[in-house]
Amino acid sequence: MSRTVRAEPGTVRAESTAKSRVLKDLRAYRFWGYAATFGALWGAVEITAGSFLHAIRLPFSGVVLAGIGAALLVSLRTLKPARGIVLTAGLVCAGIKLLSPAGAVVGPMVAIVVESVLVEIALAPVGANPVSGAAAGTLASFWAVAQKLITQTLFFGMPVIGIYKGVLLQGAGLLHLPPSGGVWVAGAFLFVVALIGAGLGVVGALVGATTRRQLAVEQP
Amino acid sequence: MTFAWLSPVVALALLVALALLPPEWHLPLGIAGWALLRWGACDVHRTLGRPWRWLQALALLCLLGAIFGTTDAHLLSIGWSKSGALSGVTMVVRAFALVALASLVSSVLPIRRWTERVHNPVARRLIEVVVVAANLVPVQLRALSTASSTLKERRPGLRRLPMRLWLLAVHSSLQAAMLAESVAFDMAVAAHNAGGNRKERP
């Protein structure tokens, strides 16, 4: 003899209300979920690519790392176009750095937070696209150079500026430029930095767009 | 005196000595300060960076100072700047003292205790998300490493490196997005359950 089990109408209504509340909450929690995973990914990239670039002593390694971070944030903003998500991911990555047992924490934390603020500002007017991505990457890589200069001046003192001036003059001499040509050498250096940052920013926007297309295919 | 307190004493003594003593004394003082921290406060010393890196900075700054400073000495009829080289030494010893001071300050700040006192809901949520993200880092690291070795096997060679990097970037982004969905779902369910439990409690 078969028995049919019927659910109470009240229970079904309560279950469906709970389900709809969880789904409503899910939309709000997606913001935090994306910030958490991309913040963690940035942390993982800092550990792997950061160690690798420093180990092989690649020139402009700080600039490349800042550009990779900016690319990751641009890709995040393409996938989840919400205001503040880039800054939140930066704060999450800085928090991860704070919890890490590594010795030098303050410098990388400041770099991560300032870079995420700059990327957030660059992406705020029109969202993430290759042009704003390039601007974001350029700003982040400029900050990497500026922070290095600020930190060195703070720790080593003002003579550092004199040394850099001497290096620029030497560069101008090597290129057979007049003594005022140091400005051109500095300009060329900053142009290379901007090019690296902008290139990585554009790559970030393209990665984000490709990922969004892939997600749309997988979750129609 | 505890080992932790040795660090600011050495750092402050070095900074005062740098201001009062002539530049010739700065290198021996720096070496003495480093040795005191190396054998007196091993726990603090670990956060000051590798000795080799300090030596490299010393050599580089002395060389740059000697080349770009005002010529005031001659070696094998080549003019160089003794005062420039000495100012390089001063810069490195000053940086070492400041790093020792900064590392102590950052190590004694009770950050974990401060985070426990935060009551703002957004800041609280951010702290929770940081803890979740810190647990996700090893997962992301493993995923990155697996994807990287798989791509290396399937597309070997230096010429395919740009393509490999592109695929790795797209794969990492895709994986992070999918992980974000599951993290969001877990957080929503946990918040819902926590709310339910709070209601059931008298």
What is the model's pTM?
0.74
Rounded to the nearest angstrom, the minimum Cα separation between B168 and chain A is 10
Mutate to test the interface with A, among B118, B130, B168 (most CBs of A within 10 A): B130
Neighbour count for residue A15 (Cβ, 10 Å): 11
- Chain A residues in contact with B68 by the CB 8 A cut-off are 162-163, 166-167, 170
* Subunit contact B192:A21, Cβ cutoff 8 A: yes
pLDDT of residue A2: 46
- Chain A residues in contact with B125 by the CB 8 A cut-off are 32
> Taking the mean position of all CA atoms in its chain, how far away is CA A220?
29
pLDDT at residue B202 is higher than 50: no
pLDDT at residue A96 is higher than 80: yes
pLDDT of residue B200: 45
pLDDT of residue A215: 86
User: Closest residue of B to A162, CA-based?
Assistant: B68
pLDDT at residue B186 is higher than 90: no
- Chain A residues in contact with B46 by the CB 8 A cut-off are 103
Q: From CA A161, how far away is CA A169, in angstroms rounded?
A: 12
Question: Which of A48, A98, A211 faces B141 most closely, judged by CB atoms?
Answer: A48
Q: From CA B187, how far away is CA A129, in angstroms rounded?
A: 30
Contact criterion met (CB below 8 Å) for A143 and A118: yes
Burial of B187 (0-12, 13-18, 19+ CB in 10 A): buried
Q: From CA B202, how far away is CA B198, in angstroms rounded?
A: 8
Q: Number of A to B CB contacts under 8 A, please give it.
A: 171
Q: From CA B185, how far away is CA A36, in angstroms rounded?
A: 13
Distances (CA, A) of B196 to A9, A33, B95: 20, 22, 55
pLDDT of residue A205: 94
Q: From CA A42, how far away is CA B137, in angstroms rounded?
A: 9
User: Closest residue of B to A90, CA-based?
Assistant: B130
Region A35-46: what's the mean pLDDT? 89
pLDDT at residue B168 is higher than 80: yes
User: Closest residue of B to A103, CA-based?
Assistant: B47
Q: Which residue is associated with the tokens 């750092």? A: B11
Distances (CA, A) of B149 to A59, B146, B164: 25, 5, 10
pLDDT at residue A180 is higher than 80: no
Residue of A17 and A135 predicted with greater confidence: A135
pLDDT-derived band of residue A208, with 50, 70 and 90 as boundaries?
A: very high
Highest mean pLDDT among A19-23, A71-75, B64-68: A71-75
Q: From CA B120, how far away is CA B191, in angstroms rounded?
A: 17
Rounded to the nearest angstrom, the minimum Cα separation between A181 and chain B is 17
Contact criterion met (CB below 8 Å) for A116 and A91: yes
* Subunit contact A104:B47, Cβ cutoff 8 A: yes
Q: From CA A158, how far away is CA A25, in angstroms rounded?
A: 53
Residue of A1 and B122 predicted with greater confidence: B122
Structure tokens at A208: 């984000």
The DSSP result for chain B, as a single string, is --HHHHHHHHHHHHHHHHHHS-GGGHHHHHHHHHHHHHHH-HHHHGGG--HHHHHHHHHHHHHHHHHHS---EEETTEEE-HHHHHHHHHHHHHHHHHHHHHHHHHHHS-HHHHHHT---HHHHHHHHHHHHHHHHHHHHHHHHHHHHHHHHHHS-SSTTHHHHHHHHHHHHHHHHHHHHHHHHHHHHHHHHHHHHHHHH--
pLDDT of residue A201: 95
- Chain A residues in contact with B130 by the CB 8 A cut-off are 39, 91-92, 95-96, 98-99
Q: From CA A58, how far away is CA A66, in angstroms rounded?
A: 14
pLDDT at residue A103 is higher than 70: no
pLDDT of residue A135: 95
What percentage of chain B reaches a pLDDT higher than 70?
Answer: 84
In single-letter form, the type of residue at position A81 comes to P
